[in-house]
């Protein structure tokens, strides 16, 4: 028996993400990439995406006999989007740190020594993204408990709670993707002020190109909580043999495809950022400036 649409789509993207994984591993083995770098965040996204697609392929093969695979597929898929958003912010902060005249990333708050960790966390946008991640995780766990529950009322109650938690989490991630548009456009404006007459750095073009992709992915995540055709817990999402072809196609186009292209664009910044100032160079320059200031005080 041949593979159904879900299994075929998962297999295709398993191959595509495996290619990205091979490129990353080659970069590490040849020491072109360092583990203590932004590319390790990409490695985390690729790993989680591979796990999600593997469960999607498994579900496409076994079908309704194992509903837990379906829940794992969608939960891991939401987590991969969360990690990809973190990656995109990390790449933007890295560009700011390497290319701004101050060599400071304004997305990272600077606090004096001794500032409580709770204050650092609460005043950072990363807190809200972590909150979204926890909502998605708890939502998936709640729904898993409902599937394993002994009666329909338990499932219905857990389903309602899970949908609310998941939709809340995905809404926060969607808002984070919208905020990224402000961050990247403001970074472009600041870069042009600091470098009058020069064009926009190609890395910023690539980061800007990821925004509509991330927005569509986040919009799909939110819509899946309200639109029956996109909700994997609604009857019309399925046919007698598994997921409907339209559900699979819409999910992979609005979800996995957007993530894969965004991930590829982030990896392509390796080539556009090769001539950026090196960390060791501008850190040494900042130390020299500090020492010079101490000497004249």
Predicted TM-score (pTM) of this structure = 0.85
CB 45 within 8 A of CB 264: no
Residue owning tokens 């599937």 = 147
CB 181 within 8 A of CB 211: yes
Residue 120 DSSP label: H
Taken in order of first residue, the domains within the chain and their CATH numbers are: 5-291 (1.20.1070)
Q: What is the largest CA-CA distance in the chain?
A: 80
Q: Taking the CA atoms of the chain, what radius of gyration do you get in angstroms?
A: 22
- pLDDT tens figures, 59-70: 888 876 777 788
Residue 278 DSSP label: P
- pLDDT tens figures, 78-102: 899 999 999 999 999 899 888 888 7
pLDDT for 250: 92
For 9, 75, 110, 162, 176, the CA distances from 167, given in Å and listed in that order, are 25, 12, 32, 8, 14
Look at residues 222, 230, 236 and name the one whose alpha carbon lies nearest to residue 248: 230
pLDDT for 152: 42
Distance CA 59, CA 227 (A): 22
């Amino acid at each position: 028996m041949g593979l159904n649409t879900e299994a075929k789509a998962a297999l295709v993207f398993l191959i595509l993400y495996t290619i990205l994984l091979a490129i990353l591993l080659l970069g590490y083995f040849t020491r072109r990439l360092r583990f203590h770098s932004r590319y390790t965040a990409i490695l985390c996204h690729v790993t989680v995406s591979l796990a999600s697609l593997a469960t999607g392929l498994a579900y496409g093969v076994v079908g309704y006999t194992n509903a837990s695979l379906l829940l794992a597929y969608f939960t891991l898929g939401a987590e991969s989007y969360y990690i990809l958003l973190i990656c995109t912010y990390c790449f933007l902060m890295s560009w700011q740190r390497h290319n701004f005249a101050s060599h400071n990333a304004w997305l990272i708050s600077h606090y004096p020594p001794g500032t409580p960790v709770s204050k650092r966390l609460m005043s950072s946008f990363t807190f809200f993204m972590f909150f979204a991640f926890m909502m998605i995780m708890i939502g998936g766990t709640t729904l898993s408990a409902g599937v394993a529950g002994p009666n329909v009322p338990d499932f219905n109650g857990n389903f309602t709670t899970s949908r609310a938690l998941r939709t809340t989490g995905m809404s926060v991630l969607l808002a984070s993707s919208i905020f990224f548009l402000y961050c990247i456009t403001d970074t472009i404006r600041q870069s042009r002020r600091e470098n009058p007459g020069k064009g926009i750095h190609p890395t910023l073009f690539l980061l800007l190109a990821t925004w509509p992709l991330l927005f569509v992915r986040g919009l799909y995540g939110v819509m899946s909580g309200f639109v029956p055709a996109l909700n994997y817990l609604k009857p019309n999402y399925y046919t007698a043999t598994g997921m409907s072809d339209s559900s699979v196609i819409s999910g992979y186009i609005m979800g996995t495809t957007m993530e894969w292209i965004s991930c590829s664009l982030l990896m392509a910044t390796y080539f556009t950022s090769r001539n950026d100032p090196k960390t060791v160079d501008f850190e040494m320059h900042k130390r020299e400036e500090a020492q010079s200031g101490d000497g004249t005080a």
